[in-house]
Homo-oligomer: A and B are copies of this chain.
Amino acid sequence: MFPAPTTPWLLHPQLAAETFAVGDLTLSRVLLMNDTNYPWLVLVPRQAGAVEIIDLDDTEQAQLMREIALTAGVLKDVTVCDKLNIAAIGNVVAQLHVHIVVRRRGDAAWPRPVWGTVPARAYEAAERERFIAAIRAEIAFG
């Protein structure tokens, strides 16, 4: 008689604790990782229960790729970038999220991956706001 209640999407508290919100794209929330070692965004598809990319349907997967390419391109434009690292890992926080990390030769973890190697260095407020503003100047968030 009644449709099953749908579970609303909520950002995982650990992701919320480690990041600042930048804006919402069609599918994903864009977050800035609170780590000045690397310019580092995280895309979180707002799809309750999604853990793997293959938990998204074909249309959402295609949209995720467009949002990965969009944010990767903007990061490359507004930073000094030798390499992009793009990854959906989720061994610790299962909620589907995609890391988009700008790497520079000689950065804190280079050439190792950024996960679990070097402690995060928090942003100061002004530096963070400048970086978020630079991203928002390039992306039309909803």
Residues of A within 8 A of B (CB): 51-54, 58, 61-62, 64-66, 68-69, 72-73, 76, 83-92, 94, 103, 110-113, 115-116
Report if A84-B53 is in contact (Cβ < 8 Å); known contacts: A61-B69, A65-B64: yes
The binding surface of chain A is classed by DSSP as: mixed
Q: Which residues of B contact A66 (CB under 8 A)?
A: 58, 61
Instruction: Say how many copies of this protein the assembly contains.
Output: 2
Closest CB in chain B relative to A27 CB, distance in Å: 13
Closest CB in chain B relative to A1 CB, distance in Å: 35
17 residue pairs from A and B, CB less than 8 Å apart: A52-B84, A54-B72, A58-B66, A61-B65, A61-B66, A61-B69, A65-B65, A85-B89, A85-B90, A85-B91, A86-B87, A86-B89, A87-B88, A87-B89, A91-B110, A113-B115, A113-B116
